Structures are given as structure tokens and as C-alpha cells.
Amino acid sequence: MIGTIIRKEIVSNLLSYKFFIVILLASLLIFTSLFVMVRDFKGRQADYELIRPQPNDPIAVLPPNPLSVFAKGLDDAMTRSFEVSIIGIEVRAGRQSGNVIFSFFPSPDFVYVVKVVLSLVALLFGFDQISREKEAGTLKLIFANSLSRASVLAGKWLGNFLSLALPFLLVTLLGIALMSLDPALRPSGSVLGRLALLIAMSLVYIALFLSLGMLVSSITRRSASSLVILLFIWSLLVFVLPNLGTLLARQFVDVPSVRALSEKREQIWTREVLMRYTDKTDNWDARIKAMNAEFDRMEEDYRNKFDRLVRVSKTINRLSPAASFVYASTEIAGTGIGEESLFKREVIRYKNRYLEDVRSGIKAHPAFAYRYRSIGQVMAEGGLFDVAWLLVFNIVFFAASYAAVVRYDVR
């Protein structure tokens, strides 16, 4: 009997103009996003080929991540040029377009399209599943049968989820297949594995908002009321809470600006240079070593404060499932906050090794190299929590929908 309800929901969606409009819109946005992000990736890859450091070059540069096509995250920050000098690490600006208009209209990646558009589409599929049946007078006929209310709810949920998931998977897999035709973008086995996890995360996220839509539909009597309430909740979860959490975190954790840190290094360097000319007997090499140690302490203090700010921000932002989805997706893709933090620490270690080799008279220096964390490491260091948190949201919303349907007055 559940199978009959599933088929009924799928057929109803296929016969609805709403289905084709939202699916066409989502497909257009996904294809456009992949097309634009592929061009962005190839442009950054061409730039990397021009500035790729050679052995002995005191420069740390990371090539763009192929998965940034789907989850851009902090890839721009990680692929900038980090130049080692005696006063620390000088960061060069990343790739920028010559047309300033592009600064006003940043390109949305696949994760952004799923986070904003597909979540809204899921709400449109779920907002009237119960209230519409009540308004049409068919709900009491359905519940008059021997089929339990839980089975009705499960059948409706599965029918609408399949109506969303199958076109989404078809469009996404087609986009990946078209990308693979380009030799420069042909994904490796590890990249395909991460892509599969990213798509699975997207399906969990879409299911969450479908469950939320059915929950609100189960506690309201009119579809119009359900839609208004859901639009308010959607804007709160997707836009307000993630930004509000970051603002609140800054009230609890004080982090100096990068500009202040750079100016402090310049002041220390100027002071040491002046002392060298005023005190000829001073050991310059020892002072340089002490100065670099002081720079390292400043950098470590800054990173510790920044990491504390990130932890507080993430804790508050996780009140929104959209934030957990972005955190998990970018970490899986290798463009998340955790990966960026580890990469910056590797750059600092490279700087220390390079300067120590220079002081020791070693002339052969290996080029900078960085290895992304494995999926196991990503999950162990926070990714699994965000995945589990999204599943908890799903379970809670569906369980609340069941409780509401059991008590729903069909008259």
C-alpha cells in the first residue's frame, strides 16, 4: 500500500507544472554553476603554471583544487603565493578578474546552489503535502482506510524525495560526465570518491528540508499559511543564523587583524636594523634567529586566537543545518576551514625549515609540497559530526511530522 502512495505522489508531481518549473530552474542553475566554475578553475590553473615555484625558490604555492569547481570554499585563500622572507611570510593576492563588475556578482558553486536553491525547492515540494489534502477533502478519505497514518506520511515523503532526488542525480551526473570529457578536468579515483560523498551530503540536506516542509504542513490547516511560515524559517536557517553566529563569536573572542600583525612585524624588523647600525659588536645572526622566534610566537598566538574564534563561530552556526552542510561539504572537498588551517601551519613549517637551511649554509632547498587530508582524517577531525548533525535534523523533523500527523484533525 505504501508503494501505491509513492507512485501516486510521483505521478502527481510529474503531472504538475510546478515540478517541471522547479526542476528546469534547478537544472539550469547547476549546469550554469559548473560551466562558470570550470572556467574559473582553468583560469587559476593557468596562473599556477606561470608562477609554479622551482626547487630553491622561497615560495609556497598550492595548485587549485579540482573539487573547488563544486565547493569553492577557501581555495582562493589556499592558492595564493606565500613568499618566505627574513621577516616572515608575505602573502600575495590571489587571482582577480580585470573586470571589477565580477566583484559584485560572484559565481555560485554547486554547494551554494544546493544550499539555497535546492533547499527552497524541497520546501516547495513538501509545504502542502498534508494541508492541501485537507483543503481538498481527500485526507479524511485516505485516513479512513486501514493504512496507518505513519505509512501515509512515509509514502508521501518517499514519493516526493524520489521526485527530487532522481532528477537531481541525473543532472549532476550528466554535468560530471561532460566535465570529464576535458582532459584537464578528468577526475581521479579519489576525486570521484569525494564527489560521491558530496552528492550524498546534498541528498541528506535536501531530505532535511523536505521533512521540514512536511512538518509545517502537518501543523497548519492552510497551504498558504504553511508556505509563509516555511519561507520565514528557510530565510532564518539559510541566511540569518550563519551570519549571526559569526557576528556573535567576534563579541566573545578578540582576534587582531592581519594588517596589525604585519605592521608589528615591520616595526620589529625596523628596530633590529637600526640596532645593527648602532651596535657594531652585536651578533647579527643571533638577533635574526631571536627575531624569527618572536615572529613565530606572534603568528602562533594569532593562529590560536583565530582557531578559537572559528570554533565558537562554528558552534553557534551549527544551529543552522545550512552551516553544517557547508562545513561538511567544503572539508570533504579539501577547501574547508580545517584544511586551510593545516595548510597555513605547513607553510610556517616550510618557512622555518628554509630559513634554518639558509643559516646553515645549505643551498639546495626542495620545493614546497602539501598533501591533503584523507577522507578518514576529515571525518575524524569534525566532518563526521556535521554529517551526523544533518542526520539528527532529518530524524527530528520527520519524527515531529509523524507526531503532528497522528494528532492531525482531518475534519
264 has a pLDDT exceeding 90: no
84: which residues sit within 8 A by CB, 6+ positions away?
Answer: 58, 59, 60, 350, 351, 354, 355
Whether 367 contacts 82, CB under 8 Å: no
pLDDT on residue 203:
96
pLDDT on residue 99:
46
Among the listed residues 328, 325, 409, the one whose alpha carbon sits nearest the alpha carbon of residue 115: 325
Average pLDDT of 278-301? Answer: 73
97 has a pLDDT exceeding 50: no
- Give the whole-angstrom CA distance, residue 322 versus residue 128: 22
Highest mean pLDDT pick, 140-144, 222-226, 319-323: 319-323
Whether 375 contacts 332, CB under 8 Å: yes
pLDDT band for position 263 (cuts 50, 70, 90): confident
100 has a pLDDT exceeding 50: no
Cell numbers standing for residue 166: 532522481
Average pLDDT of 211-222? Answer: 90
User: How large a percentage of the chain has pLDDT more than 70?
Assistant: 90
- Give the whole-angstrom CA distance, residue 345 versus residue 299: 10
Average pLDDT of 263-282? Answer: 70
- Give the whole-angstrom CA distance, residue 220 versus residue 407: 12
138 has a pLDDT exceeding 80: no
pLDDT on residue 248:
85
**Which parts of 279-383 fold into alpha helices (H)?**
284-317, 321-333, 337-360, 375-378
HSE of 1, CA atoms in CB hemisphere, 13 A: 12
334 has a pLDDT exceeding 90: yes
CA 27, 64, 342, 77 dihedral sign is negative
Average pLDDT of 157-181? Answer: 92
Highest mean pLDDT pick, 144-148, 269-273, 306-310, 377-381: 377-381
* Lowest mean pLDDT across 5-14, 22-31, 144-153, 207-216: 144-153
pLDDT on residue 105:
54
* Lowest mean pLDDT across 179-183, 231-235, 339-343, 390-394: 179-183
Q: Using one digit for the tens of pLDDT, what is the confidence trace for 109-123?
A: 999 999 999 999 999
Whether 194 contacts 67, CB under 8 Å: yes
pLDDT on residue 98:
44
Highest mean pLDDT pick, 134-148, 327-341, 345-359: 327-341
* Lowest mean pLDDT across 68-72, 221-225, 381-385: 221-225
Q: Which residues pair with 322 in a beta bridge?
A: none
- Give the whole-angstrom CA distance, residue 166 versus residue 65: 28
CA 67, 71, 72, 78 dihedral sign is negative
322 has a pLDDT exceeding 90: yes
The residue type found at 200 is A
Average pLDDT of 30-37? Answer: 91
CB atoms within 10 A of CB 387: 21
* Lowest mean pLDDT across 6-10, 192-196, 288-292: 288-292
Average pLDDT of 382-404? Answer: 93
The residue type found at 129 is Q
Q: Using one digit for the tens of pLDDT, what is the confidence trace for 387-396?
A: 999 999 999 9
Furthest C-alpha separation in the chain: 98
410 has a pLDDT exceeding 70: no
132 has a pLDDT exceeding 50: yes
Mean pLDDT rounded to a whole number for the chain? 85
4 conformational bin, left if phi > 0, alpha if psi -120 to 50, beta if neither = alpha
Query: From the CA atom positions of the chain, what is the Rg in Å?
Result: 27
Whether 285 contacts 359, CB under 8 Å: yes
Report which DSSP code applies to 257: -
The position carrying cell 539559510 is: 238
* Lowest mean pLDDT across 156-165, 217-226, 359-368, 372-381: 359-368
User: How large a percentage of the chain has pLDDT more than 90?
Assistant: 39
CA distances from 301 to 15, 265, 293, 306, 340 (A): 61, 14, 12, 9, 17
